[in-house]
Amino acid sequence: MSGILRELLCVSEKAANIARACRQQEALFQLLIEEKKEGEKNKKFAVDFKTLADVLVQEVIKQNMENKFPGLGKKIFGEESNEFTNDLGEKIIMRLCPTEEETVDLLNKVLNGNKLASEALAKVVHQDVVFSDPALDAIEINIPQDTLGVWVDPIDSTYQYIKGSADIKSNQGIFPSGLQCVTILIGVCDIQTGVPLMGVINQPFVSQDLNTLRWKGQCYWGLSYMGTNIHSFLPPVSTRNSSETQSQVTQNPSSEAECSHPFSAVISTSEKETIKAALSRVCGERIFRAAGAGYKSLCVVLGLVDIYIFSEDTTFKWDSCAAHAILRAMGGGMVDLKECLERNPNSGLDLPQLVYHVGNRGAAGVDQWANKGGLIAYRSKKQLETFLSLLLRHLAPVDAHT
């Protein structure tokens, strides 16, 4: 089991290398964009893109995992179709070939004969990656492989990836937009219960060398199974928040603002006004906007905020499974917002955790895997219960039942 997680870490790093390689040259990058077809579109965006980087990453993950763990490749589910149409109208199925030369030939067809670009990409795709973490090496857990399913979002926040902004300033450690919001998400669930068991979040663009303009990334993981909970080392919040913000909190922890607004939250720029209004009463000015569902979830994992809340139905199983597994390993989780608002807190029922094994009845295309009731990501169950009671108090009664 930990062998699978180790391999997922390696393959996420290979995926990050592909994502970085595809961004090195703007001229090359323009070749890699193809608009998504109707059934694959996320209705949140008027224009949604499929990049070759997306598809390459997804296929590399599938093929690598299948090679190491036969049978698992067929249980890897993702957002991307691997079919491309080139300028000649040829339909090409993108896959990882056994040799670098064969991958060059296939990429050459997709890229309309651009051999330099095809060779550069194929080299990265076939490059071996070694990734280790002492915390993970110290454990050995076995779970039957046939009970596992894998959700992959090869490049989350595709819009930010395509836009490629490298000079966005963070707000108390949280980036509202830019390449820092791009993540590679791999979540493993139990296909019988839908419970998330393992998660990997790779952030390919964390810091840029101003001399070489090369990017370095960071990888986070978590495992939660049968009472064993372990996750990657997280630097203390003080090293991630700005020193000014941290010193204010440290020197004056019982300030009036902290007492009256004990929570911080990250939200989407498209969040509904009713939710934003209620949140402002719960969190005051400690509400942050950021791009990418994966990145917003990561902000909770890293302790930059207490809560990630999203009331719409435009996140999907591949967006949430990885972070959900990591948060479970930390004592937190990810719940259905609509069900939380309709739930009687005195009923004694468990919180409505998101599950990953069944689709939405009657839905088609990507919508069958949407998180229909919205979501809340959190690090502490006790904190979540308090947050929900405050949120409900400030939401109009009609909002709790729509």
Q: Which of 153, 271, 306, 313 is catalytic?
A: 153
Q: Is-catalytic flag, 54?
A: yes
Task: Say if residue 244 carries a ligand binding annotation.
Answer: no
Q: Is-catalytic flag, 156?
A: yes
Residue 280 φ then ψ, to 5°: -65, -30
Q: Which of 59, 79, 271, 336 is catalytic?
A: 79
Task: Say if residue 79 carries a ligand binding annotation.
Answer: yes
Q: Is-catalytic flag, 193?
A: no
Which token pair is 64? Answer: 């690598």
Q: Which of 319, 326, 336, 376 is catalytic?
A: 319
Dist CA 290 CA 174 (whole Å)? 7
Task: Say if residue 267 carries a ligand binding annotation.
Answer: no
Q: Which of 18, 155, 287, 309 is catalytic?
A: 155
Which token pair is 341? Answer: 């608002």
Q: Is-catalytic flag, 158?
A: yes
Sheet hosting strand 287-289, strand order edge to edge: 287-289, 265-267, 307-310, 375-378, 333-335
End-to-end CA distance of the chain: 41
Q: Which of 7, 13, 80, 156 is catalytic?
A: 156
Q: Is-catalytic flag, 319?
A: yes
Task: Say if residue 319 carries a ligand binding annotation.
Answer: yes
Residue 92 φ then ψ, to 5°: -125, 130
Task: Say if residue 87 carries a ligand binding annotation.
Answer: no
Q: Is-catalytic flag, 93?
A: no
Dist CA 190 CA 353 (whole Å)? 14
Contacts (Cβ under 8 Å, ≥6 apart) of 253 = none
Contacts (Cβ under 8 Å, ≥6 apart) of 363 = 370
Q: Which of 4, 7, 18, 54 is catalytic?
A: 54
Contacts (Cβ under 8 Å, ≥6 apart) of 231 = 135, 220, 221, 222, 223, 326, 329, 330
| Binding site as annotated, residues for Mg(2+) | 79, 153, 155-156, 319
By annotation, the residues acting in catalysis are 54, 79, 153, 155-156, 158, 319
- Residues belonging to the binding site are 79, 153, 155-156, 319
